[in-house]
Structure 1
Amino acid sequence: MSTAAEPTPDERTLYEQMGGADTFATIARVFYEGVATDPLLKPMYPEEDLGPAEERFRLFLSQYWGGPTTYSETRGHPRLRMRHAPFRVTPEARDRWLTHVMAGVDQADLPPELDALLRDYLERAAHAMVNTFV
């Protein structure tokens, strides 16, 4: 009876290499802990309970990095710019968003090369969401 060999590090998805569900849950949790007390960002979330937003963010990050496709199955295509269009995303809001999400990345404690890859993506995504300078 043969058993499947464990995948080598090179055969694992980025999602698996980054620590899977636990990593993205940590990032989303820490991010929304920051948002909850941020006077600029909190008003952008109409729900008093940030739990559903945290769950959506966790699902999005998980899917983007090669994990389960639950986000698309439940919400459709991410369409990040369209979903953020109703909100005034200024450079200050972007910077606050980055502060909170990077605190989550800090808590994830990823290997340096994966940490840099994730931070680069998040910075580029944050810059792309800016839709007003006033």
Structure 2
Amino acid sequence: MTESGQDGTDRETFFHAVGGEAVFRKLVHRFYQGVAGDELLRPMYPEEDLGPAEERLTLFLMQYWGGPRTYSEQRGHPRLRMRHVPFTVDRAAHDAWLRHMKVAVDELDLEPQARQQLWDYLVYAAASMVNSA
């Protein structure tokens, strides 16, 4: 799938360039394997099964990177900061989240430029969720 650039030409989305849905599902599944055993992060996921949270993050990341808009169709605007307000997200949670995400990103075997682009976004996203000292 392509999307039109500002100049009217078609360009491949990051989502498709890195392998599409399968890559994002692998990323998020591996991430939640880490979260499942994390004493700090696991309590932030009140559902007994991490499956629903895994699906939400997968759909969000796929949409963000140019894939299907399923996340917005099902949940509306992402409003990430608002959705995280009920949870204390401090520096320790930020670091733990990134630690598990780094393992997941490293296991994707992406091209270096794509890996860096994805990682830069995840670092930015993690920092923007911090809501407590």
Q: Tell whether the structures are fold-level matches, with TM greater than 0.5.
A: yes
Detail structure 1 runs of 4+ shifted over 6 Å in the superposition: none
The CA distance in 1 between the partners of 2:42 and 2:67, in whole Å, is: 28
TM (normalized to structure 1)? Answer: 0.90
Q: CA deviation at 1:109?
A: 1.1
TM-align CA RMSD: 1.0
Per the TM alignment, residue 103 of structure 1 is displaced from its structure 2 partner at its CA by: 1.1
Measured in 1, the distance between the counterparts of 2:28 and 2:71 equals: 14
User: Which ranges of structure 2 fall in alignment gaps of 5 or more residues?
Assistant: 1-9
Q: Between the two structures, name the one with larger relative contact order (CA 8 Å, sep ≥ 6).
A: 1
Quick one: which amino acid aligns to residue 105 of structure 1? V
Of all paired residues, the percent bearing the same amino acid is 58
Unaligned runs of 5+ in 1: 1-9
2:20 is aligned with 1:23? no
More strand by share: 2
Larger Rg: 1
The more displaced of 27-36 and 100-109 is 100-109
Residue 47 of structure 1 and its aligned partner are, at CA, apart by: 0.5
- Residue in structure 1 matched with residue 4 of structure 2 by the alignment: none
Aligned residues: 124
TM-score (normalizing by structure 2): 0.91
**How far apart in 2 are the matches of 1:78 and 1:109?**
28
Residue 107 of structure 2 aligns to a residue whose secondary structure is: helix
Provide the residue aligned with 1:113 in structure 2. Answer: 113
Q: Could you tell me how far 1:49 is from its partner in structure 2?
A: 0.4
Larger helix fraction of residues: 1
